[in-house]
Amino acid sequence: MASDSPDLVAPASSAWRRQLAGALFGSRRSQALPSAGASRGAWRALLRNPSALAGIVLLAAFIALALGAPRLFPGDPLDMVAAPFEWPGADPLYRLGTDSLGRDVAAGVAHGARVSLLIGASSAAIGLVIGTLVGALGGFFGGLLDDLLVRITELFQTVPSFLLVIVIVAIGRPSVTIIALAIGIASWPTVARIVRAEFRTLRRSDFVLAARSQGFGNARIIFGEILPNALPPVIVTASVMVASAILIESSLSFLGMGDPNVVTWGGMIGAGRDSLRTAWYLTAVPGAAIVLAVLALNLLGDGLNDALNPRMRQLS
């Protein structure tokens, strides 16, 4: 028995040393392969989801329409090009008809896609940046800073988002930039709460302790170690934020608070509401564009939620 003990102890001690060295000095290398495999698995799960695939196709079609609008419909979409109230199909040059001022409805839908997607993506980016910073700082440091940031977040959440956007747009000049900034300012509290919850869960993880043992600073731990692991729920939320921004921008334009120098889907609906009984297509066409765009983003968001959730991937 005594002669066997050295043979058993030596491999055990060397294995323990290798594990400790890997935890302290090889955390990045050991996590690279699992993260790559997880990302490939999430991508495969997303493509196997019919709803998510339908959302991707719809969203890609809108992006292609927005990018190709200057080539498909050159000129100013606000110009009068034909007789007013031409129904869809009556003139092959204007397949979706014309409005009360003789403007091409198809050109308005295409150029309106550019404005809607631009405002949706820009406002979501603004909300993500602000919310991520607030949630990361509060969740990582905790204490008095966390209490202060939580109170500020709650203060913003007590004001209805749409009302806050209206106030900001009314104070400034209605433009694409101001509208995107206003929606972004009103939408960051949701992101902040999600990021804060993720950081409070991950800040005591083993890989964070390993990073501290290597002398990493707080900034590197926050943005290089914890934030990449907290991104999945943020990515899902981003798609919902873009859809909400499109709806809010359309509502503002419908109320006459949009940018008067560009064509928007909500502005087209607002301009056609007076002719709803005689020319219902003026509201139905841009309304259908809004419904399909929001539906595409929601389907994509649901697919991302299922693909980035390990439990859902195992069930599928």
76-88, pLDDT tens digit by residue?
999 999 999 999 9
**How far is the C-alpha of 278 from the C-alpha of 214, rounded, in Å?**
72
Confidence of residue 114 (pLDDT cuts 50, 70, 90): very high
User: Is residue 17 domain-resident?
Assistant: no
Asked if residues 82 and 93 have their Cβ atoms less than 8 Å apart, the reply is yes
Strands (E), the chain: none
**How far is the C-alpha of 37 from the C-alpha of 98, rounded, in Å?**
52
The pLDDT of residue 126:
96
What single-letter amino acid sits at 295? L
Total domains, the chain = 1
Question: Counting Cβ atoms within 10 Å, is residue 15 exposed (0-12), middle (13-18) or buried (19+)?
Answer: exposed
Report residue 258 as tokens: 């949009």
**How far is the C-alpha of 42 from the C-alpha of 242, rounded, in Å?**
21
User: Is residue 126 domain-resident?
Assistant: yes
Which of 154, 118, 155, 107 lies closest to 245, judged by CA?
118
User: Is residue 219 domain-resident?
Assistant: yes
User: Is residue 18 domain-resident?
Assistant: no
The pLDDT of residue 25:
39
User: Is residue 192 domain-resident?
Assistant: yes
Please compute the mean of the pLDDT values over residues 174-186 and round it to a whole number. 94
User: Is residue 14 domain-resident?
Assistant: no
Instruction: Look up the domain containing 208 and give its range.
Output: 50-85+118-315
Q: What is the pTM of this model?
A: 0.82
User: Is residue 58 domain-resident?
Assistant: yes
Q: Which residues contact 216 (CB under 8 A, 6 or more apart)?
A: 224, 225
Question: Counting Cβ atoms within 10 Å, is residue 149 exposed (0-12), middle (13-18) or buried (19+)?
Answer: buried
Choose the weakest-confidence range: 28-37, 124-133, 251-260.
Answer: 28-37
Choose the weakest-confidence range: 21-30, 148-157, 283-292.
Answer: 21-30
User: Is residue 108 domain-resident?
Assistant: no
Please compute the mean of the pLDDT values over residues 66-81 and round it to a whole number. 92
Report residue 173 as tokens: 């000049």
The pLDDT of residue 310:
56
**How far is the C-alpha of 316 from the C-alpha of 308, rounded, in Å?**
12
Q: Let me know how many helices (H) and strands (E) the chain has, helices first.
A: 13, 0
CATH number at residue 178: 1.10.3720.10
**How far is the C-alpha of 52 from the C-alpha of 180, rounded, in Å?**
26
